[in-house]
């Protein structure tokens, strides 16, 4: 192995000038033919430079990486690679010419160099030159011959040929026979060939066996050799050779012929008799592909198939057949087998380049992919037509040879179709035609071409007043058909004029979720409704937006107690009087809400203290109270003088009254303590309240009204006393101060007394009670 490595190194040095010459020729060929042509020797080391592909294509070395210069070939890309740093085309794997092309004189590897932006395709052809890397080889290491001792001198015996897989001078063989007394090799035009010639007669009794060594040498530098052993047994006389019916047999068979199919019979005859006439058939070739696919019956010469016949692998076979009789005489014939192509290969579709995702605003006729359709069959069986299955906004455009471009035929809309599965069908022209499918997924890149959309342009939200600050009151949502940042919606409150500015101080919105919040409590009595404009804007560039109007309606709550306009507790007067004519009929209206329950009589009390409760119909109900003093008289002149005189008398006797008042106060205090003790004891026993003797004609007030007027929003009610004299001659008034507290027993329910008026119609309407 070491010796062979040294020989290989010497050969590569000898071939260096040939490589340079081939490179210059390839450049000249490129300028003339429009394609790049290189010539290299087989078995070059990995990483060896074939040539600078970038310079030969006229490309800028700095751009080839960005433009994705690459090799496109199902076969050649295994053996070559492009260095994107310097543009060199390098050998990527071992190249064996004999394995690639066999005995074909010309051996080429071709590929397409593809570069993008813009898309260009260059055809590169590389001629693989032969080197002497194969030694001559005999199919059999030993050849046995039986030669009769009566064989005349000059008789020729055809020996097996040595085979050298190299070409040209490297495959030109010269034969040499080891030194002996009886045999020489045949010679023609100064060259020996494997034909054994008997030069001197044999004598079996003297020597019955002869061993010779046949050496085959090729014409390479250095020379390589192969040997075989020839063992000769001297026998009795056999003077007739087998004779084939034809020197050359020709037959055509289809590829994919079944195993064990008979394709040909070869025939040979021998005029001898007995064992010397018994013929045995065999192949005299050393080609392994022949021995793998074909077999010959040694008895009858039937040639059959034992392996797969593939036109795409080998198109014809040249087989040497030998017929040998029992006396070891042999003759040879050629069998030429032509393989007929069948449409047994479906087209193959490969994607060379694809741009995905593609922007949805790409113009018509944009190239999205480059594909290649190839069929291994020949003739019409290898012609391919391609089409796109289904209705899609794409079409195929033939580019160069077997290349097709996929281009757009109309505008794209990602919102309608976010991606396409483009199915390409390639069909050959064979009979029957074969087809194959290739599906390419093409994603559509979104652009911001859709603004956010609300479900409707106007929304109505209802919120009760006195709400908690920061509470959510409504949620609004807008949809954007775009994706990612283009589809993310941000909400905000906008205003077009200064009139809408106060509304913004009440409202805020979550920019992400669209939830609307109240910044402070609403008051139905101040603002019953207002409008805000919501804008939804996406995050695209440029951003798109849309708006919707939201009407906020405030729902009233019962948060205001009734207000008594007349008589006003805050009017500044210490007492409020209402006169009731003594002659009033039953049901007469007093102060709009109080009616008489019956006709007045002489024994009736002429002064009545009344507390009026005003409550609304809300939930919970709110109320207000006012105290009235009702005086029964036909006119004020009957009662006012008495009050005035009493006032004057009290002024003149003020000194005396001071002492009297002190005494009475002490007595009253003791009396009140006694009364209170008695009342409390009585209250504990009966658990009921009784009215004062002056109000004995009216029933007790309903206890349900007690918390209503005690818990009202207005101040504690006032109680007013009116004292009117029945003597009209006395016209002076005595104004008494109002009571600080109103006794509970003085409250009379209008429903129980029969003189009240109750009005209810919902929140904001009031009921009156006395």
pLDDT at residue 342 greater than cutoff 60: yes
- Confidence grade of residue 707 (pLDDT, cut at 50, 70, 90): very low
Query: What local confidence, expressed as pLDDT, does residue 747 receive?
Result: 38
Is it true that the peptide bond before 56 is cis, omega within 30 degrees of 0?
Answer: no
Query: What local confidence, expressed as pLDDT, does residue 244 receive?
Result: 95
Burial class (CB in 10 A: 0-12, 13-18, 19+), 337: buried
Query: What local confidence, expressed as pLDDT, does residue 696 receive?
Result: 36
Domain range for 583: 577-648+689-769
Higher pLDDT, 316 or 10: 316
The two tokens of residue 720 are 């007013």
Classify residue 95: in a domain, yes or no. Answer: yes
Instruction: Find the radius of gyration of the CA atoms of the chain.
Output: 63
Alpha carbon distance 211, 183 (integer Å) = 11
DSSP states of 573-601: -S--EEEE-TTPPTT-EETTTEE-SS---
Strand boundaries in 168-275, DSSP class E: 174-177, 183-188, 191-198, 209-217, 225-235, 243-244, 248-254, 262-265, 268-269
Q: CB–CB of 731/580 below 8 Å?
A: no
Alpha carbon distance 389, 408 (integer Å) = 15
pLDDT at residue 763 greater than cutoff 90: no
Q: CB–CB of 319/290 below 8 Å?
A: yes
Query: What local confidence, expressed as pLDDT, does residue 568 receive?
Result: 66
pLDDT at residue 187 greater than cutoff 90: no
Q: How far is CA 116 from CA 58, 98, 235, 353, 368, in A?
A: 14, 35, 77, 9, 12
Exposure letters 711-737 (e unless 16+ CB within 10 A, then b) = ebebeebbbbbbbbbeebebbebbebe
pLDDT at residue 504 greater than cutoff 90: no
Classify residue 564: in a domain, yes or no. Answer: no
- In a shared domain, residues 145 and 212: yes
Identify which of 118, 122, 129, 101 has the alpha carbon closest to the alpha carbon of residue 40.
129
Query: What local confidence, expressed as pLDDT, does residue 637 receive?
Result: 62
Question: Residue 196 pairs with which residues in a beta bridge?
Answer: 157, 185
Classify residue 665: in a domain, yes or no. Answer: no
- In a shared domain, residues 709 and 765: yes
Burial class (CB in 10 A: 0-12, 13-18, 19+), 412: buried
Query: What local confidence, expressed as pLDDT, does residue 497 receive?
Result: 58
- In a shared domain, residues 741 and 755: yes
Percent with pLDDT over 70 in the chain: 79
Query: What local confidence, expressed as pLDDT, does residue 14 receive?
Result: 42
pLDDT at residue 262 greater than cutoff 50: yes
Comparing 44-53, 428-437, 502-511, 670-679, the range with the smallest average pLDDT is: 502-511
Q: CB–CB of 727/677 below 8 Å?
A: no
Give the number of other Cβ atoms within 10 Å of residue 632's Cβ.
21
For 719-747, what is the mean pLDDT?
41
Q: CB–CB of 84/62 below 8 Å?
A: no
pLDDT at residue 9 greater than cutoff 60: no
Classify residue 674: in a domain, yes or no. Answer: no
- In a shared domain, residues 405 and 479: no
Residue 507 has phi, psi (to 5 degrees) of -125, 145
Task: Please report, in angstroms and rounded to a whole number, the separation of the first and last CA atoms in the chain.
Answer: 132
The two tokens of residue 457 are 């342009």
pLDDT at residue 394 greater than cutoff 60: yes
Give the number of other Cβ atoms within 10 Å of residue 767's Cβ.
22
Query: What local confidence, expressed as pLDDT, does residue 257 receive?
Result: 92
- In a shared domain, residues 637 and 729: yes
- Confidence grade of residue 512 (pLDDT, cut at 50, 70, 90): very high
- In a shared domain, residues 722 and 700: yes
pLDDT at residue 736 greater than cutoff 70: no
pLDDT, the chain, mean: 79
Identify which of 429, 463, 422, 423 has the alpha carbon closest to the alpha carbon of residue 443.
422
Query: What local confidence, expressed as pLDDT, does residue 661 receive?
Result: 79
Query: What local confidence, expressed as pLDDT, does residue 719 receive?
Result: 41
Query: What local confidence, expressed as pLDDT, does residue 279 receive?
Result: 94
Alpha carbon distance 631, 606 (integer Å) = 6
Q: How far is CA 608 from CA 73, 611, 629, in A?
A: 120, 10, 6
Alpha carbon distance 131, 654 (integer Å) = 156
Query: What local confidence, expressed as pLDDT, does residue 765 receive?
Result: 53
Classify residue 660: in a domain, yes or no. Answer: no
Classify residue 457: in a domain, yes or no. Answer: yes
Q: CB–CB of 725/719 below 8 Å?
A: no
- In a shared domain, residues 147 and 164: yes
Is it true that the peptide bond before 432 is cis, omega within 30 degrees of 0?
Answer: yes
The two tokens of residue 258 are 């079944």
CA angle 138, 142, 143 (to 5 degrees): 95
pTM beyond 0.85? no
The two tokens of residue 336 are 């030429």
Q: How far is CA 541 from CA 416, 477, 486, 537, 544, in A?
A: 21, 21, 8, 11, 8
- In a shared domain, residues 629 and 746: yes
Percent with pLDDT over 90 in the chain: 31
Query: What local confidence, expressed as pLDDT, does residue 286 receive?
Result: 65
- Confidence grade of residue 569 (pLDDT, cut at 50, 70, 90): low
Alpha carbon distance 374, 383 (integer Å) = 8
- In a shared domain, residues 106 and 25: yes
For 464-485, what is the mean pLDDT?
90
DSSP states of 261-277: -EEEE--EE-SS-GGGG
Ramachandran category for residue 554: left, alpha or beta (phi over 0 → left; psi -120 to 50 → alpha)? beta
Comparing 145-149, 163-167, 300-304, 705-709, the range with the smallest average pLDDT is: 705-709
| Domain endpoint, select from 101, 129, 157 | 129
- In a shared domain, residues 697 and 616: yes
Domain count along the chain? 6
- In a shared domain, residues 10 and 99: yes
Which residues contact residue 764 at a Cβ distance below 8 angstroms, ignoring those fewer than 6 apart? Answer: 616, 617, 618
- In a shared domain, residues 211 and 190: yes
Query: What local confidence, expressed as pLDDT, does residue 265 receive?
Result: 95
Alpha carbon distance 59, 410 (integer Å) = 33
| Domain endpoint, select from 237, 267, 282 | 237
Residue 108 C-alpha from the chain's centroid: 45
| Domain endpoint, select from 311, 341, 371 | 341
Query: What local confidence, expressed as pLDDT, does residue 710 receive?
Result: 37
pLDDT at residue 324 greater than cutoff 50: yes
Higher pLDDT, 704 or 205: 205
- Confidence grade of residue 647 (pLDDT, cut at 50, 70, 90): very low
Classify residue 720: in a domain, yes or no. Answer: yes
Classify residue 187: in a domain, yes or no. Answer: yes
Residue 487 sits in a domain whose CATH number is 2.60.40.60
Comparing 5-19, 205-219, 425-439, the range with the smallest average pLDDT is: 5-19
Alpha carbon distance 267, 260 (integer Å) = 19
pLDDT at residue 454 greater than cutoff 60: yes
């Amino acid at each position: 192995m070491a010796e062979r490595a040294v020989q290989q190194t010497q050969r590569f040095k000898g071939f260096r000038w040939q490589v340079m010459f081939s490179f210059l020729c390839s450049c000249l060929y490129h300028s003339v033919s429009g394609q790049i042509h290189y010539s290299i020797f087989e078995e070059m080391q990995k990483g060896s430079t074939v040539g600078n592909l970038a310079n030969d294509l006229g490309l800028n070395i700095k751009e080839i990486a960005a433009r994705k210069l690459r090799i496109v070939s199902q076969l050649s890309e295994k053996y070559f690679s492009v260095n994107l740093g310097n543009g060199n085309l390098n050998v990527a794997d071992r190249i064996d010419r004999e394995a690639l092309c066999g005995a074909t004189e010309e051996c080429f590897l071709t590929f397409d160099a593809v570069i993008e932006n813009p898309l260009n395709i260059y055809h590169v052809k590389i001629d693989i030159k032969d080197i002497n890397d194969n030694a001559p080889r005999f199919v059999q290491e030993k050849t046995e011959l039986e030669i009769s001792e009566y064989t005349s001198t000059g008789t020729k015996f055809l020996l097996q040929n040595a085979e050298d897989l190299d070409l040209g001078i490297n495959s030109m063989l010269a034969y040499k026979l080891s030194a002996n007394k009886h045999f020489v090799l045949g010679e023609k035009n100064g060259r020996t060939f494997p034909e054994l010639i008997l030069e001197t007669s044999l004598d079996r009794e003297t020597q019955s066996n002869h061993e010779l060594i046949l050496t085959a040498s090729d014409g390479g530098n250095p020379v390589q050799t192969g040997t075989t052993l020839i063992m000769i047994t001297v026998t009795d006389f056999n003077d007739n050779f087998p004779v084939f019916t034809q020197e050359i047999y020709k037959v055509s068979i289809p590829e994919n012929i079944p195993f064990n199919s008979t394709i040909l019979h070869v025939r040979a005859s021998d005029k001898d008799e007995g064992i010397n006439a018994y013929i045995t058939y065999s192949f005299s070739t050393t080609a392994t592909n022949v021995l793998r696919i074909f077999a010959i019956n040694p008895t009858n010469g039937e040639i059959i198939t034992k392996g797969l016949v593939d036109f795409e692998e080998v198109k014809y076979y040249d087989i040497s057949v030998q017929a040998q009789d029992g006396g070891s005489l042999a003759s040879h014939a050629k069998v030429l087998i032509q393989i007929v192509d069948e449409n047994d290969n479906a087209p193959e579709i490969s994607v060379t380049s694809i741009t995905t995702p593609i922007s949805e605003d790409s113009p018509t006729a944009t190239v999205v992919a480059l594909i290649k359709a190839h069929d291994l069959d020949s003739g019409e069986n290898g012609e391919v037509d391609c089409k796109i299955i289904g209705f899609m906004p794409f079409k195929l455009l033939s580019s160069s040879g077997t290349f097709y471009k996929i281009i757009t035929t109309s505008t794209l809309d990602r919102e309608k179709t976010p991606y396409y599965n483009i199915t390409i069908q390639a069909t050959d022209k064979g009979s029957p035609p074969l087809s194959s499918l290739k599906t390419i997924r093409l994603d559509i890149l979104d652009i911001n071409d859709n603004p956010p959309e609300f479900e409707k342009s106007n929304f109505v939200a209802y919120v009760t007043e006195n709400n908690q600050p920061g509470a959510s009151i409504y949620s609004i949502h807008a949809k954007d058909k775009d994706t990612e940042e283009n589809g993310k919606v941000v909400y905000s409150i906008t205003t077009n004029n200064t009139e809408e500015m106060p509304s913004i101080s009440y409202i805020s919105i979550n920019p992400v979720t669209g939830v609307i919040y109240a910044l402070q409590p609403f008051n139905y009595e101040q603002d019953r409704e207002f409008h805000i404009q919501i804008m939804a804007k996406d995050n695209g560039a440029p951003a798109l937006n849309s708006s919707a109007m939201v009407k906020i309606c405030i729902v009233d709550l019962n948060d205001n107690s009734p207000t008594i306009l007349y008589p006003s507790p805050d009017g500044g007067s210490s007492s409020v009087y209402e006169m009731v004519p003594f002659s009033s009929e039953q049901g007469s209206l007093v102060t709009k809400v109080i009616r008489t329950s019956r006709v007045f009589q002489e024994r009736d009390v002429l002064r009545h203290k009344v507390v009026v409760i005003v409550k609304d119909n809300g939930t919970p109900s709110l109320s207000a109270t006012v105290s009235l003093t009702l005086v029964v008289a036909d006119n004020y002149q009957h009662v006012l003088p008495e009050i005035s005189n009493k006032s004057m008398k009290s002024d003149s006797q003020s000194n005396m009254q001071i002492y009297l008042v002190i005494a009475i106060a002490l007595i009253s205090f003791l009396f009140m303590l006694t009364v209170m003790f008695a009342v409390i004891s009585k209250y504990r026993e009966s658990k009921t309240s009784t009215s004062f003797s002056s109000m004995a004609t009216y029933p007790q007030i309903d206890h349900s009204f007690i918390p209503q007027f005690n818990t009202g929003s207005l101040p504690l009610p006032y109680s007013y006393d009116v004292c009117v004299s029945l003597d009209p001659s006395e016209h002076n008034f005595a104004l008494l101060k109002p009571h600080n507290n109103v006794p509970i027993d003085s409250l009379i329910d209008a429903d129980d007394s029969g003189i009240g008026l109750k009005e209810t119609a919902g929140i904001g309407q009031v009921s009156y009670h006395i």
